[in-house]
Structure 1
Amino acid sequence: MKISRLLIALAVVAAGAAYFMWHARPSAATVAAAPRAPSDPDVLRYPAGAPQLASIRAEPVQRVALPLAGPLNGRVVYNEDATARISSPINGRVVTIKAQLGDSVRAGQTLLVLDSPDLGSAESDLEKAQADANVKRLALVRAQTLYRGEALARKDLEAAQADYAAARAESRRARLRLHNLAPAGAVNADEGYPLRSPIAGVVVERQVNPGMEVRPDLPNPLFVVTDPARLWVSVDLPENLLGKVALGHPVAIEVDAYPGQRFAGHIDKIAPALDPVTRRIMLRCSVDSGAARLKAEMFARVTLLADADQLAFRIPNAALVSDGLYSYVFVEQAPGVLRKRRVTLAAQDRDYAYSVDSLRPGERIVTSGALLLNSELGVTQ
């Protein structure tokens, strides 16, 4: 009796196990979509058209100069060595404006024309001074002739010499005043006073309108002319990074207007003292704006770089997966074949990590979907 019960129990257990194994079998679709059994435990192999591949994006790894620190906040400003802030040296009323915002101008080109009584006065003063100097010169010549004929006292000769010297000085003063008002050359008060640009560049600011009364002591310049291809970037450097920078060190500059693009520059000025409030020191970087794409007053992110020969592979942080104390990326060896590789990081910032020798030029790494691949690899193992 006991043997019969035991046989019945064994039969029930065997039937249940068979039922479970039948219903737990993977479907044909599941088998086709899963990674093929890899010979290498760090490699995933997907057949063409596998649904996992739609969630994965691979890109070639880029090699860039190794950064010394994370990006710093900066601001694009005019290069003052290539910028002229132009005001009127005399009082007057604007008659004609000949340069508009955004116009390219040559050195010496007229920006506006003023109707200025001061210019007429300066020209008149010069003509009178020159005429007086000519009269005093002739008087001196006569005095010298009379003195040689002993018909004139020496003190009268000396008085004539003094009068001529004073007249020459007044003529020179009037000429210099007119030259100061019109350094670019001769002007005609009847035609108006031309305000000219001292440098070649682009008009980036204009604060004058027709009919406006101008004077030398206005708080703002009438025009600002600059070379838009030569700009500075001002950076506030934390005190603890001061030992990593030096004049001439390269920098990489990024702005929100051009995502993913870097503009090359270098440090050309380090302030002699820190700001006592912020404990930061000002750096000035020169940058080629690349066809004037950078604009003054843009906010920028400035990355301090090592020497040009110290290169590293730039890895988006989204491409990294962590396993314990180490970091890994997935390298695309062939279409559908992805290998998990350990990388050694030399630096890391908010957006990117940098590795010196863990990758090879031209290799493609997974930049989107790395976490999915890592979990899939864990399942297959």
Structure 2
Amino acid sequence: MALTFTRPLLLALAIAALSACQNKSEPTPTIPQPIIESNRLRYPAEHPQLKLLVSVAAQPAQSITVELPARIVWNEEKTQRIYPAFAGRVGRIAADVGQRVRAGQVLAELASPEFGAAQADTTRTQADARLAQQNLQRQRELFEAGVLARKDLEQAEAEAARSQAEAARAQARTRLYGSAADVNQQLTLRADIAGTVVERNINPGQELRPDNMAAPLFTVSDPSSLWVQIDAQEADLPDLRPGARVALVVPSLAQEPVQATVQAVTDQIDPLSRTIKVRATVANPQRLLKNEMLARARYERQVGQSLAVPASAVFLRGSQHFVFVQGAPGLFETRDVRVVHEGPQRTLVGAGLREGELVVSENGLLLARELRLAQEATHTGGQLK
């Protein structure tokens, strides 16, 4: 039986055959693989991976710039934090944040029954001391008249001395907080140093208890001089001795680094951060630096004769550092090096490189992978023979 095809069917078959011919993919040219030569890897010319491998020359360096994390805090030698010595209620506030105060100036007043009890104790002990003194005078007169024994006179002298000491103690206590004898229950908070009120945690009518104070009522400090707390490593200690100068860089301020002077270095290592605390002092005449600002302390460390390469060019195999050195175009070899210093941007090499040699600084991991694959392929091929 003969088959008959309609015109639309023939047209559809022709289009399908043409599409099948167009969908046939042409064979992709094979990219030649790099060749391993001992610890060297040779890429064929025009290999696409060569464009990814960027090399730079090793440059001589005698010093490096070290940056350490730092934090700006109040100068504790010029700072006073004021807490209440007695419980009470805030009656009057005489100072606010940003206000300059002099030594002895009143910051606030509290109505304190506890302080009133201390004032009353002072008044009582003073009255007892006066009475004991009068009694001693009478005992002396009787002793001189021959009607009193020496033992009784000595007892009166001892009682008078005890009363005087107790009165002096109570009076010194109340005088320390602004009152010598009067019983007015007014506890006065004063600044003992001249400076600026940099913190205030007190409100009118607030009830205060000395045993429940999480923060000081007032903090008075001199913002023109601040401390810098630096987290140093053990290798930084020879350079960060008292008197050394460091440059303080504050990222939040668009200004030149300011100079700070190291004042003290702790004798212990922080068990959590494994850092050593270094304290420096920085002048702040324009008051641009603020308490709790984060900064970087920068200084130059002398390292002798060495070569500087990018930190991304150095790799670690076990305990040995190595780099990829580019010889002829497309030829790379691994080279063991001795690292003098590892920084976030640069690494200093003391041995294993010569000045001017090219080291791979970008995509070195790709080169390491290709070298490993080539070594594995060579090793496998040798076992199959």
TM range (shorter): 0.5 to 0.7
User: Match for residue 201 of structure 1?
Assistant: 195
Give the one of 108, 113, 123 matched to 2:109: 113
Q: Secondary structure at the match of 1:219?
A: coil
Contiguous gaps of at least 5 residues in structure 1? 1-65, 308-323, 326-346, 353-381
TM-superposed deviation, 1:274: 1.8
Give the one of 201, 220, 229 matched to 1:234: 229
Give the one of 161, 165, 170 matched to 1:169: 165
**Cα pair distance change 1:245/1:171, threshold 3 Å:** closer
Whole-angstrom CA distance in 2 between matches of 1:186 and 1:137: 20
Whole-angstrom CA distance in 2 between matches of 1:188 and 1:149: 40
The code of the aligned residue for 2:69 comes to N
Task: Report Cα offsets for 1:169-206 as digits up to 9, x if no partner.
Answer: 22122212213333xx6585438221001111111111
User: Match for residue 244 of structure 2?
Assistant: 249
8 Å CA contact 1:187–1:193 kept in 2: the answer is no
Matches within 5 A, 1:55-70: 68-70=64-66
User: Match for residue 97 of structure 2?
Assistant: 101
**Cα pair distance change 1:253/1:187, threshold 3 Å:** farther
Task: Report Cα offsets for 1:129-171 as digits up to 9, x if no partner.
Answer: 2222222212211111111211223333233223322322221
Task: Report Cα offsets for 1:3-56 as digits up to 9, x if no partner.
Answer: xxxxxxxxxxxxxxxxxxxxxxxxxxxxxxxxxxxxxxxxxxxxxxxxxxxxxx
Matches within 5 A, 1:206-221: 206-217=200-211, 218-221=213-216
Does 2:293 correspond to 1:298? Answer: yes
Whole-angstrom CA distance in 2 between matches of 1:68 and 1:225: 40
8 Å CA contact 1:208–1:222 kept in 2: the answer is yes
8 Å CA contact 2:119–2:180 kept in 1: the answer is no
TM-superposed deviation, 1:263: 1.0
8 Å CA contact 1:250–1:305 kept in 2: the answer is no
User: Match for residue 186 of structure 2?
Assistant: 192
User: Match for residue 50 of structure 1?
Assistant: none
Task: Report Cα offsets for 1:299-347 as digits up to 9, x if no partner.
Answer: 101112479xxxxxxxxxxxxxxxx99xxxxxxxxxxxxxxxxxxxxx9
Q: Secondary structure at the match of 1:70?
A: strand
Give the one of 115, 118, 122 matched to 2:118: 122
TM-superposed deviation, 1:81: 0.8
- Overall identity of the aligned pairs, in %: 38
8 Å CA contact 1:74–1:234 kept in 2: the answer is yes
8 Å CA contact 1:234–1:284 kept in 2: the answer is yes
User: Match for residue 45 of structure 2?
Assistant: none
Whole-angstrom CA distance in 2 between matches of 1:249 and 1:68: 16
Give the one of 231, 255, 264 matched to 2:259: 264
Q: Secondary structure at the match of 1:278?
A: coil
Task: Report Cα offsets for 1:344-367 as digits up to 9, x if no partner.
Answer: xxx998899xxxxxxxxxxxxxxx
8 Å CA contact 1:271–1:282 kept in 2: the answer is yes
Matches within 5 A, 1:22-171: 68-171=64-167
Q: Secondary structure at the match of 1:119?
A: helix
8 Å CA contact 1:249–1:306 kept in 2: the answer is no
Whole-angstrom CA distance in 2 between matches of 1:269 and 1:175: 40
TM-superposed deviation, 1:232: 1.0
8 Å CA contact 1:270–1:282 kept in 2: the answer is yes
**Cα pair distance change 1:173/1:348, threshold 3 Å:** closer
8 Å CA contact 1:143–1:160 kept in 2: the answer is yes
Whole-angstrom CA distance in 2 between matches of 1:351 and 1:292: 32
Matches within 5 A, 1:4-15: none
Task: Please provide the CA RMSD for this pair.
Answer: 2.9
Q: Secondary structure at the match of 1:88?
A: coil
Contiguous gaps of at least 5 residues in structure 2? 1-61, 303-324, 327-340, 347-385
Q: Secondary structure at the match of 1:290?
A: coil
8 Å CA contact 1:255–1:301 kept in 2: the answer is yes
TM-superposed deviation, 1:219: 2.9
**Cα pair distance change 1:230/1:174, threshold 3 Å:** same
The code of the aligned residue for 2:78 comes to A
The code of the aligned residue for 2:193 comes to I
The code of the aligned residue for 1:98 comes to A
8 Å CA contact 1:90–1:181 kept in 2: the answer is no
Whole-angstrom CA distance in 2 between matches of 1:189 and 1:149: 41
TM-superposed deviation, 1:104: 1.3
Does 2:284 correspond to 1:289? Answer: yes
Whole-angstrom CA distance in 1 between matches of 2:287 and 2:168: 45
Whole-angstrom CA distance in 2 between matches of 1:199 and 1:224: 11
8 Å CA contact 1:229–1:292 kept in 2: the answer is yes
**Cα pair distance change 1:104/1:350, threshold 3 Å:** farther
Aligned residues: 248
The code of the aligned residue for 1:241 comes to D
**Cα pair distance change 1:176/1:223, threshold 3 Å:** same
**Cα pair distance change 1:278/1:124, threshold 3 Å:** closer
Whole-angstrom CA distance in 2 between matches of 1:68 and 1:143: 85
8 Å CA contact 1:67–1:303 kept in 2: the answer is no
